[in-house]
Amino acid sequence: MTETFEAGDVTLRRVREFVWEIPPEGDMRVPARVLASRPLLEQIADDRTLEQLRNTTHLPGVTDYALCMPDGHQGYGFPVGGVAGIDAENGCISPGAVGYDINCGVRMMRTDLTYDDVRGREEELVEALFDAVPTGLGGGGVVQGDAPTVEAVLERGVEWALEEGWAVEDDLTHCEDEGRRPDADPDAVSQKAKDRGRNQLGSLGSGNHFLEVQRVTDTFDAATAEAYGLAEDQVVVLIHCGSRGLGHQTCNDYLRRIEQEHADLLADLPDRELAAAPAGSELAERYYGAMCACINFAWVNRQLIMHRTREVFADVFDRPWEEMGMELLYDVAHNIAKKEVHETSAGERELYVHRKGATRAFPAGHPEVPAAYRDTGQPVIIPGSMGAGSYVLSGGEASLSETFGSTAHGAGRLMSRTQAKQEFWGGDVQDGLREGQKVYVKASSGATIAEEAPGVYKDVDEVVRVSDALGIGDKVARTFPVCNIKG
DNA sequence: ATGTGC
Protein backbone atom coordinates (compact mmCIF):
# COMPACT_ATOMS: atom_id res chain seq x y z
CA MET A 1 0.00 0.00 0.00
CA THR A 2 1.22 3.49 -0.79
CA GLU A 3 2.52 5.40 2.19
CA THR A 4 0.82 8.78 2.62
CA PHE A 5 1.30 11.98 4.62
CA GLU A 6 -1.73 14.03 5.63
CA ALA A 7 -1.46 17.77 6.28
CA GLY A 8 -4.71 19.72 6.49
CA ASP A 9 -6.58 19.12 3.24
CA VAL A 10 -3.42 18.04 1.43
CA THR A 11 -2.52 14.38 1.03
CA LEU A 12 0.95 13.49 -0.18
CA ARG A 13 1.84 10.05 -1.40
CA ARG A 14 5.35 8.71 -1.13
CA VAL A 15 6.90 8.09 -4.55
CA ARG A 16 10.21 6.80 -3.17
CA GLU A 17 12.56 7.74 -0.37
CA PHE A 18 12.49 11.56 0.12
CA VAL A 19 10.09 12.11 -2.79
CA TRP A 20 6.46 12.97 -1.95
CA GLU A 21 3.77 13.90 -4.43
CA ILE A 22 0.42 15.69 -4.44
CA PRO A 23 -1.43 14.05 -7.36
CA PRO A 24 -3.22 16.41 -9.76
CA GLU A 25 -6.83 17.19 -8.92
CA GLY A 26 -9.20 20.03 -9.84
CA ASP A 27 -7.36 22.71 -11.82
CA MET A 28 -3.87 21.43 -11.05
CA ARG A 29 -2.07 21.07 -14.38
CA VAL A 30 0.66 18.80 -13.03
CA PRO A 31 1.51 17.04 -9.76
CA ALA A 32 3.42 18.83 -7.00
CA ARG A 33 6.46 17.25 -5.42
CA VAL A 34 8.12 17.79 -2.06
CA LEU A 35 11.66 16.50 -1.63
CA ALA A 36 11.99 15.89 2.09
CA SER A 37 12.44 13.44 4.91
CA ARG A 38 9.47 12.82 7.16
CA PRO A 39 10.83 15.09 9.94
CA LEU A 40 11.25 17.94 7.43
CA LEU A 41 7.77 17.31 6.07
CA GLU A 42 6.30 17.51 9.57
CA GLN A 43 7.79 21.00 9.92
CA ILE A 44 5.75 22.34 6.99
CA ALA A 45 2.55 20.47 7.79
CA ASP A 46 0.89 23.32 9.67
CA ASP A 47 1.70 26.41 7.60
CA ARG A 48 0.78 27.41 4.04
CA THR A 49 3.77 25.80 2.27
CA LEU A 50 1.92 22.82 0.78
CA GLU A 51 -1.13 24.86 -0.18
CA GLN A 52 1.14 27.37 -1.92
CA LEU A 53 3.05 24.61 -3.66
CA ARG A 54 -0.22 23.12 -4.92
CA ASN A 55 -1.32 26.57 -6.13
CA THR A 56 1.78 26.90 -8.29
CA THR A 57 0.66 23.93 -10.38
CA HIS A 58 -2.13 26.16 -11.74
CA LEU A 59 0.35 28.41 -13.57
CA PRO A 60 0.03 28.13 -17.37
CA GLY A 61 2.88 26.18 -18.94
CA VAL A 62 4.11 24.60 -15.70
CA THR A 63 5.98 21.52 -16.87
CA ASP A 64 6.11 17.99 -15.39
CA TYR A 65 5.71 19.00 -11.74
CA ALA A 66 6.14 21.90 -9.34
CA LEU A 67 8.74 21.24 -6.68
CA CYS A 68 9.55 22.15 -3.09
CA MET A 69 13.16 21.65 -1.95
CA PRO A 70 13.96 20.08 1.47
CA ASP A 71 14.37 23.51 3.12
CA GLY A 72 11.06 24.87 1.78
CA HIS A 73 8.63 27.02 3.76
CA GLN A 74 5.83 29.46 3.03
CA GLY A 75 6.56 32.65 1.12
CA TYR A 76 4.82 35.37 -0.93
CA GLY A 77 2.49 33.30 -3.12
CA PHE A 78 5.14 30.80 -4.13
CA PRO A 79 6.98 28.85 -1.41
CA VAL A 80 10.55 29.74 -0.53
CA GLY A 81 12.36 26.61 -1.72
CA GLY A 82 10.03 26.36 -4.71
CA VAL A 83 11.12 25.38 -8.21
CA ALA A 84 8.94 25.52 -11.32
CA GLY A 85 10.01 25.01 -14.93
CA ILE A 86 7.49 26.99 -16.96
CA ASP A 87 7.32 26.87 -20.77
CA ALA A 88 9.03 30.03 -22.10
CA GLU A 89 7.00 29.95 -25.32
CA ASN A 90 3.49 29.01 -24.18
CA GLY A 91 3.66 29.52 -20.42
CA CYS A 92 4.28 32.52 -18.21
CA ILE A 93 6.70 34.25 -15.88
CA SER A 94 5.74 35.12 -12.30
CA PRO A 95 7.59 37.72 -10.16
CA GLY A 96 6.28 36.11 -6.96
CA ALA A 97 7.98 32.87 -8.04
CA VAL A 98 11.33 34.68 -8.22
CA GLY A 99 10.95 36.56 -4.96
CA TYR A 100 11.08 40.16 -3.82
CA ASP A 101 14.84 40.03 -3.41
CA ILE A 102 15.90 39.40 -7.01
CA ASN A 103 19.23 37.53 -7.10
CA CYS A 104 19.44 37.11 -3.41
CA GLY A 105 22.38 34.74 -3.35
CA VAL A 106 25.66 33.72 -1.79
CA ARG A 107 29.31 33.88 -2.62
CA MET A 108 32.21 32.17 -0.89
CA MET A 109 35.73 33.51 -0.90
CA ARG A 110 38.70 31.31 -0.03
CA THR A 111 41.70 32.37 2.01
CA ASP A 112 45.03 30.69 2.77
CA LEU A 113 44.59 31.48 6.46
CA THR A 114 43.85 28.78 9.01
CA TYR A 115 41.71 29.00 12.13
CA ASP A 116 44.87 29.49 14.21
CA ASP A 117 45.59 32.71 12.28
CA VAL A 118 42.29 34.30 13.33
CA ARG A 119 41.69 32.72 16.74
CA GLY A 120 42.03 35.36 19.45
CA ARG A 121 41.54 38.14 16.90
CA GLU A 122 37.86 37.56 16.21
CA GLU A 123 36.78 40.73 17.97
CA GLU A 124 39.22 42.93 16.08
CA LEU A 125 38.16 41.33 12.81
CA VAL A 126 34.42 41.57 13.42
CA GLU A 127 34.72 45.24 14.41
CA ALA A 128 36.81 46.06 11.33
CA LEU A 129 34.35 44.30 9.03
CA PHE A 130 31.38 45.98 10.68
CA ASP A 131 33.03 49.40 10.22
CA ALA A 132 33.84 48.74 6.55
CA VAL A 133 30.69 47.05 5.26
CA PRO A 134 27.38 48.93 5.53
CA THR A 135 24.61 46.87 7.17
CA GLY A 136 20.97 47.32 8.00
CA LEU A 137 18.01 48.97 6.33
CA GLY A 138 18.26 52.15 4.30
CA GLY A 139 21.02 53.76 2.30
CA GLY A 140 24.79 53.89 2.37
CA GLY A 141 27.03 51.56 0.39
CA VAL A 142 30.70 50.84 -0.28
CA VAL A 143 30.23 52.97 -3.41
CA GLN A 144 28.10 56.10 -3.74
CA GLY A 145 26.77 55.67 -7.28
CA ASP A 146 25.45 58.38 -9.56
CA ALA A 147 22.86 57.76 -12.28
CA PRO A 148 25.35 56.63 -14.97
CA THR A 149 26.97 54.25 -12.47
CA VAL A 150 23.66 52.51 -11.80
CA GLU A 151 23.01 52.21 -15.55
CA ALA A 152 26.45 50.64 -16.10
CA VAL A 153 26.00 48.22 -13.20
CA LEU A 154 22.56 47.12 -14.45
CA GLU A 155 23.90 46.65 -17.98
CA ARG A 156 27.31 45.12 -17.41
CA GLY A 157 27.36 43.58 -13.92
CA VAL A 158 30.75 42.58 -12.54
CA GLU A 159 32.47 43.77 -15.75
CA TRP A 160 31.74 47.25 -14.44
CA ALA A 161 33.40 46.36 -11.13
CA LEU A 162 36.49 45.10 -12.98
CA GLU A 163 36.80 48.36 -14.94
CA GLU A 164 36.48 50.36 -11.73
CA GLY A 165 39.12 48.40 -9.84
CA TRP A 166 36.68 46.54 -7.58
CA ALA A 167 37.39 43.12 -9.08
CA VAL A 168 40.09 41.04 -10.71
CA GLU A 169 39.64 38.95 -13.86
CA ASP A 170 39.36 35.70 -11.86
CA ASP A 171 36.34 37.03 -9.99
CA LEU A 172 34.36 37.03 -13.24
CA THR A 173 35.27 33.49 -14.21
CA HIS A 174 34.21 32.21 -10.76
CA CYS A 175 30.75 33.78 -10.78
CA GLU A 176 27.53 32.33 -12.21
CA ASP A 177 27.17 33.69 -15.77
CA GLU A 178 30.61 35.32 -15.30
CA GLY A 179 28.87 38.05 -13.34
CA ARG A 180 26.85 39.38 -16.24
CA ARG A 181 23.37 38.48 -17.46
CA PRO A 182 23.33 39.35 -21.14
CA ASP A 183 19.51 39.64 -21.23
CA ALA A 184 19.55 42.66 -18.90
CA ASP A 185 17.40 45.61 -19.97
CA PRO A 186 18.15 48.62 -17.73
CA ASP A 187 15.43 50.64 -19.48
CA ALA A 188 12.86 48.24 -18.02
CA VAL A 189 13.91 49.18 -14.46
CA SER A 190 11.92 52.15 -13.12
CA GLN A 191 13.55 55.43 -12.15
CA LYS A 192 12.25 54.91 -8.63
CA ALA A 193 14.04 51.55 -8.38
CA LYS A 194 17.27 53.06 -9.74
CA ASP A 195 17.04 55.91 -7.24
CA ARG A 196 16.67 53.43 -4.40
CA GLY A 197 19.67 51.42 -5.59
CA ARG A 198 22.00 54.33 -6.18
CA ASN A 199 23.33 54.57 -2.63
CA GLN A 200 23.03 50.86 -1.81
CA LEU A 201 25.85 49.52 -3.98
CA GLY A 202 27.92 47.41 -1.62
CA SER A 203 25.58 47.02 1.35
CA LEU A 204 24.36 43.93 3.17
CA GLY A 205 20.83 44.99 4.07
CA SER A 206 18.85 43.33 6.81
CA GLY A 207 16.93 40.13 7.58
CA ASN A 208 18.90 36.96 6.99
CA HIS A 209 21.69 38.73 5.10
CA PHE A 210 25.16 38.54 6.54
CA LEU A 211 28.88 38.37 6.04
CA GLU A 212 30.50 35.53 7.92
CA VAL A 213 34.10 34.47 8.43
CA GLN A 214 34.10 30.69 8.70
CA ARG A 215 36.46 27.76 9.10
CA VAL A 216 36.20 24.51 7.17
CA THR A 217 35.45 21.73 9.66
CA ASP A 218 34.91 18.75 7.35
CA THR A 219 35.52 17.66 3.80
CA PHE A 220 33.45 14.77 2.45
CA ASP A 221 34.74 14.41 -1.09
CA ALA A 222 38.51 14.86 -1.20
CA ALA A 223 38.85 15.27 -4.97
CA THR A 224 36.09 17.88 -5.31
CA ALA A 225 37.19 19.72 -2.17
CA GLU A 226 40.66 19.96 -3.65
CA ALA A 227 39.29 21.19 -6.97
CA TYR A 228 37.33 23.86 -5.07
CA GLY A 229 40.47 24.74 -3.10
CA LEU A 230 38.97 23.75 0.26
CA ALA A 231 40.77 22.01 3.11
CA GLU A 232 39.98 21.40 6.78
CA ASP A 233 40.84 24.27 9.16
CA GLN A 234 40.98 26.77 6.31
CA VAL A 235 39.33 30.16 6.75
CA VAL A 236 36.69 31.18 4.18
CA VAL A 237 34.29 34.12 3.92
CA LEU A 238 30.60 33.74 3.07
CA ILE A 239 28.54 36.68 1.84
CA HIS A 240 24.74 36.44 1.64
CA CYS A 241 22.76 39.39 0.25
CA GLY A 242 20.77 40.54 -2.75
CA SER A 243 19.61 43.51 -4.81
CA ARG A 244 18.36 45.63 -1.88
CA GLY A 245 15.69 48.28 -2.51
CA LEU A 246 16.31 48.22 -6.27
CA GLY A 247 15.23 44.60 -6.66
CA HIS A 248 12.40 44.99 -4.18
CA GLN A 249 11.03 48.00 -6.05
CA THR A 250 11.31 46.18 -9.39
CA CYS A 251 9.39 43.17 -8.09
CA ASN A 252 6.70 45.44 -6.72
CA ASP A 253 6.50 47.54 -9.93
CA TYR A 254 5.92 44.48 -12.10
CA LEU A 255 3.54 42.71 -9.73
CA ARG A 256 1.24 45.76 -9.82
CA ARG A 257 1.46 46.13 -13.59
CA ILE A 258 0.93 42.42 -14.24
CA GLU A 259 -2.09 42.31 -11.90
CA GLN A 260 -3.66 45.13 -13.93
CA GLU A 261 -2.67 44.23 -17.47
CA HIS A 262 -3.08 40.46 -17.20
CA ALA A 263 -6.11 40.31 -14.93
CA ASP A 264 -7.60 37.58 -17.14
CA LEU A 265 -4.71 35.22 -16.40
CA LEU A 266 -4.85 36.16 -12.72
CA ALA A 267 -8.58 35.42 -12.53
CA ASP A 268 -7.83 31.75 -13.21
CA LEU A 269 -5.20 31.47 -10.46
CA PRO A 270 -5.98 30.50 -6.86
CA ASP A 271 -3.80 33.23 -5.31
CA ARG A 272 -3.37 36.86 -6.36
CA GLU A 273 0.26 36.68 -5.22
CA LEU A 274 1.04 34.31 -8.12
CA ALA A 275 0.26 37.03 -10.72
CA ALA A 276 2.06 36.12 -13.94
CA ALA A 277 2.68 37.61 -17.39
CA PRO A 278 2.01 35.31 -20.35
CA ALA A 279 5.14 34.23 -22.24
CA GLY A 280 5.65 36.39 -25.32
CA SER A 281 3.72 39.37 -23.88
CA GLU A 282 5.44 42.73 -23.72
CA LEU A 283 5.24 42.70 -19.94
CA ALA A 284 6.85 39.23 -19.72
CA GLU A 285 9.77 40.47 -21.82
CA ARG A 286 10.07 43.70 -19.85
CA TYR A 287 10.00 41.91 -16.48
CA TYR A 288 12.58 39.38 -17.67
CA GLY A 289 14.89 42.19 -18.85
CA ALA A 290 14.40 44.16 -15.64
CA MET A 291 14.95 41.09 -13.47
CA CYS A 292 18.18 40.29 -15.36
CA ALA A 293 19.38 43.87 -14.76
CA CYS A 294 18.64 43.44 -11.03
CA ILE A 295 20.62 40.18 -11.14
CA ASN A 296 23.63 42.17 -12.38
CA PHE A 297 23.14 44.73 -9.61
CA ALA A 298 23.14 42.03 -6.93
CA TRP A 299 26.29 40.43 -8.30
CA VAL A 300 28.04 43.80 -8.15
CA ASN A 301 26.71 44.28 -4.63
CA ARG A 302 28.31 41.05 -3.46
CA GLN A 303 31.47 41.82 -5.44
CA LEU A 304 31.94 45.21 -3.74
CA ILE A 305 31.41 43.68 -0.30
CA MET A 306 33.88 40.90 -1.07
CA HIS A 307 36.51 43.29 -2.36
CA ARG A 308 36.09 45.53 0.66
CA THR A 309 36.54 42.42 2.83
CA ARG A 310 39.86 41.77 1.10
CA GLU A 311 40.97 45.26 2.08
CA VAL A 312 39.87 44.71 5.69
CA PHE A 313 41.85 41.45 5.89
CA ALA A 314 44.91 43.17 4.37
CA ASP A 315 44.63 45.81 7.06
CA VAL A 316 44.01 43.47 10.00
CA PHE A 317 46.61 40.87 9.03
CA ASP A 318 49.04 43.44 7.60
CA ARG A 319 49.61 41.61 4.32
CA PRO A 320 48.41 42.28 0.76
CA TRP A 321 45.19 40.34 0.17
CA GLU A 322 46.70 38.74 -2.94
CA GLU A 323 49.22 37.00 -0.67
CA MET A 324 46.46 35.50 1.47
CA GLY A 325 44.83 33.52 -1.36
CA MET A 326 41.62 35.55 -1.17
CA GLU A 327 39.99 34.20 -4.33
CA LEU A 328 36.33 33.92 -5.15
CA LEU A 329 35.28 30.26 -5.00
CA TYR A 330 31.85 30.86 -6.49
CA ASP A 331 28.84 33.16 -6.49
CA VAL A 332 25.42 31.64 -7.05
CA ALA A 333 21.92 33.11 -7.08
CA HIS A 334 19.01 31.54 -5.24
CA ASN A 335 16.16 33.94 -6.20
CA ILE A 336 16.01 33.96 -9.98
CA ALA A 337 14.15 32.91 -13.11
CA LYS A 338 16.25 31.84 -16.05
CA LYS A 339 15.60 30.75 -19.60
CA GLU A 340 17.14 27.29 -19.77
CA VAL A 341 16.66 24.33 -22.11
CA HIS A 342 15.63 21.13 -20.32
CA GLU A 343 14.61 17.64 -21.32
CA THR A 344 10.94 17.36 -20.28
CA SER A 345 8.29 14.66 -20.65
CA ALA A 346 7.20 16.51 -23.81
CA GLY A 347 10.74 16.61 -25.22
CA GLU A 348 13.33 19.37 -25.16
CA ARG A 349 11.81 22.69 -24.12
CA GLU A 350 12.98 26.18 -23.30
CA LEU A 351 11.71 26.96 -19.80
CA TYR A 352 11.63 29.89 -17.45
CA VAL A 353 13.12 27.97 -14.55
CA HIS A 354 11.87 29.79 -11.46
CA ARG A 355 14.07 29.15 -8.44
CA LYS A 356 12.92 30.98 -5.34
CA GLY A 357 15.05 30.03 -2.39
CA ALA A 358 16.52 27.26 -4.50
CA THR A 359 20.01 26.96 -5.96
CA ARG A 360 20.99 25.94 -9.44
CA ALA A 361 22.95 22.67 -9.15
CA PHE A 362 24.25 21.74 -12.59
CA PRO A 363 26.45 18.63 -12.68
CA ALA A 364 29.87 18.08 -14.23
CA GLY A 365 29.93 18.46 -17.99
CA HIS A 366 27.03 20.89 -18.29
CA PRO A 367 27.96 23.65 -20.75
CA GLU A 368 26.60 26.40 -18.49
CA VAL A 369 28.93 25.45 -15.63
CA PRO A 370 31.98 27.77 -15.63
CA ALA A 371 35.09 26.24 -17.20
CA ALA A 372 36.84 26.16 -13.82
CA TYR A 373 34.26 23.66 -12.52
CA ARG A 374 33.27 21.84 -15.72
CA ASP A 375 34.84 18.58 -14.47
CA THR A 376 33.52 18.71 -10.90
CA GLY A 377 30.06 20.22 -11.21
CA GLN A 378 28.96 23.64 -10.10
CA PRO A 379 29.65 24.64 -6.50
CA VAL A 380 26.41 24.96 -4.52
CA ILE A 381 26.67 27.08 -1.40
CA ILE A 382 24.13 26.40 1.35
CA PRO A 383 24.28 28.81 4.29
CA GLY A 384 23.06 27.46 7.61
CA SER A 385 22.45 29.40 10.80
CA MET A 386 24.94 31.29 12.98
CA GLY A 387 25.09 28.32 15.34
CA ALA A 388 25.13 25.47 12.86
CA GLY A 389 27.43 26.32 9.99
CA SER A 390 27.08 25.96 6.25
CA TYR A 391 27.77 23.55 3.41
CA VAL A 392 29.43 23.51 0.04
CA LEU A 393 27.94 20.94 -2.32
CA SER A 394 28.56 20.15 -5.97
CA GLY A 395 25.79 20.00 -8.55
CA GLY A 396 24.49 16.41 -8.70
CA GLU A 397 23.90 14.14 -11.70
CA ALA A 398 20.25 13.60 -10.79
CA SER A 399 19.42 17.31 -10.64
CA LEU A 400 18.74 17.57 -14.38
CA SER A 401 16.19 14.75 -14.38
CA GLU A 402 14.65 15.47 -10.97
CA THR A 403 14.66 19.20 -10.24
CA PHE A 404 15.41 21.19 -13.42
CA GLY A 405 18.98 21.35 -12.13
CA SER A 406 18.27 22.65 -8.62
CA THR A 407 18.68 21.94 -4.93
CA ALA A 408 18.12 23.62 -1.55
CA HIS A 409 19.44 27.08 -0.61
CA GLY A 410 19.69 27.05 3.18
CA ALA A 411 18.38 25.59 6.40
CA GLY A 412 14.89 27.01 5.95
CA ARG A 413 12.98 28.97 8.58
CA LEU A 414 11.00 27.20 11.26
CA MET A 415 9.11 30.25 12.51
CA SER A 416 8.19 33.78 11.48
CA ARG A 417 10.29 36.80 12.40
CA THR A 418 7.54 37.98 14.75
CA GLN A 419 7.48 34.63 16.53
CA ALA A 420 11.29 34.61 16.70
CA LYS A 421 11.32 37.94 18.54
CA GLN A 422 8.90 36.53 21.10
CA GLU A 423 11.06 33.46 21.64
CA PHE A 424 14.53 35.04 21.69
CA TRP A 425 16.34 38.13 22.96
CA GLY A 426 19.16 39.38 20.68
CA GLY A 427 21.68 40.06 23.45
CA ASP A 428 21.18 36.60 24.97
CA VAL A 429 21.62 34.93 21.59
CA GLN A 430 24.79 36.93 20.97
CA ASP A 431 26.25 36.05 24.39
CA GLY A 432 25.31 32.39 24.04
CA LEU A 433 27.01 32.07 20.68
CA ARG A 434 30.14 33.74 21.94
CA GLU A 435 30.46 31.86 25.20
CA GLY A 436 29.20 28.54 23.96
CA GLN A 437 30.60 28.30 20.46
CA LYS A 438 33.21 31.06 20.10
CA VAL A 439 31.10 32.72 17.39
CA TYR A 440 31.39 36.52 17.41
CA VAL A 441 28.29 38.27 16.07
CA LYS A 442 27.81 41.99 15.54
CA ALA A 443 24.61 43.49 14.15
CA SER A 444 23.14 46.96 13.76
CA SER A 445 19.96 45.77 15.46
CA GLY A 446 19.43 43.33 18.34
CA ALA A 447 16.05 42.42 16.87
CA THR A 448 17.81 41.05 13.77
CA ILE A 449 19.91 38.73 15.94
CA ALA A 450 16.73 37.44 17.61
CA GLU A 451 15.07 36.96 14.21
CA GLU A 452 18.09 35.00 13.05
CA ALA A 453 18.75 32.97 16.21
CA PRO A 454 19.95 29.44 15.40
CA GLY A 455 16.72 28.09 16.91
CA VAL A 456 14.55 29.68 14.21
CA TYR A 457 16.08 27.43 11.55
CA LYS A 458 15.60 23.82 10.58
CA ASP A 459 18.43 21.34 10.79
CA VAL A 460 20.76 22.15 7.87
CA ASP A 461 22.38 18.71 8.23
CA GLU A 462 19.03 17.09 7.51
CA VAL A 463 18.39 19.35 4.50
CA VAL A 464 21.78 18.51 3.02
CA ARG A 465 21.37 14.80 3.81
CA VAL A 466 18.26 14.73 1.62
CA SER A 467 19.96 16.65 -1.22
CA ASP A 468 22.94 14.31 -1.12
CA ALA A 469 20.84 11.15 -0.94
CA LEU A 470 18.74 12.24 -3.91
CA GLY A 471 21.90 12.99 -5.90
CA ILE A 472 20.78 16.54 -6.76
CA GLY A 473 23.58 18.23 -4.78
CA ASP A 474 26.47 16.24 -3.30
CA LYS A 475 28.27 17.02 -0.05
CA VAL A 476 31.76 18.47 -0.49
CA ALA A 477 32.59 20.42 2.68
CA ARG A 478 31.11 21.81 5.86
CA THR A 479 32.02 25.10 7.54
CA PHE A 480 31.44 26.64 10.97
CA PRO A 481 31.15 30.36 11.83
CA VAL A 482 34.02 32.34 13.35
CA CYS A 483 32.52 35.82 13.21
CA ASN A 484 29.45 37.31 11.59
CA ILE A 485 28.16 40.78 10.76
CA LYS A 486 24.56 41.40 9.81
CA GLY A 487 21.83 44.04 9.55
C1' DA B 1 13.31 40.48 1.49
C1' DT B 2 11.82 45.94 2.09
C1' DG B 3 12.95 53.96 2.92
C1' DT B 4 9.16 46.84 7.46
C1' DG B 5 1.48 47.86 3.86
C1' DC B 6 -1.94 46.91 -0.37
State how many domains chain A has. 1
pLDDT, tens digit (0-9, with 9 covering 90-100), for A10-40: 999 999 999 999 999 999 999 999 999 999 9
> Is any atom of nucleic acid chain B found less than 7 Å from the CB of residue A249?
yes
Q: Is residue A481 a part of any domain in this protein?
A: yes
pLDDT of residue A139: 85
Which residue stretches of chain A have pLDDT < 50? none
pLDDT of residue A1: 75
Q: How far is CA A468 from CA A14, A80, A369, A370, in A?
A: 18, 20, 19, 22
> Is any atom of nucleic acid chain B found less than 7 Å from the CB of residue A196?
yes
Q: Is residue A46 a part of any domain in this protein?
A: yes
Q: Look up the protein residue whose alpha carbon has the minimum distance to the C1' of B4.
A: A137
> Is any atom of nucleic acid chain B found less than 7 Å from the CB of residue A60?
no
Q: Is residue A139 a part of any domain in this protein?
A: yes
Measured CA to C1', the nucleotide nearest A357 is B1
Q: B4 C1' – A137 CA distance, angstroms? A: 9
pLDDT of residue A383: 97
Q: B3 C1' – A231 CA distance, angstroms? A: 42
Q: Which residue(s) pair with A195 in the sheet?
A: none
Q: Is residue A473 a part of any domain in this protein?
A: yes
pLDDT of residue A2: 86
Q: Is residue A95 a part of any domain in this protein?
A: no
Active site residue A342: no
Q: Is residue A442 a part of any domain in this protein?
A: no
Cα separation of A194 and A244, whole Å? 11
pLDDT, tens digit (0-9, with 9 covering 90-100), for A120-141: 999 999 999 999 999 999 889 9
Dihedral (Cα; A378, A383, A389, A390), 10-degree rounding: -10
Q: Is residue A428 a part of any domain in this protein?
A: no
Q: Is residue A429 a part of any domain in this protein?
A: no
Q: How far is CA A353 from CA A98, A331, A433, in A?
A: 9, 18, 38
Asked if A239 contacts A135 with a C-beta cutoff of 8 angstroms, the reply is no
Neighbours of A267 (CB within 10 A): 8
CATH number of the domain bearing residue A326: 3.90.1860.10
Instruction: Give the domain range for residue A473.
Output: 4-88+102-414+457-486
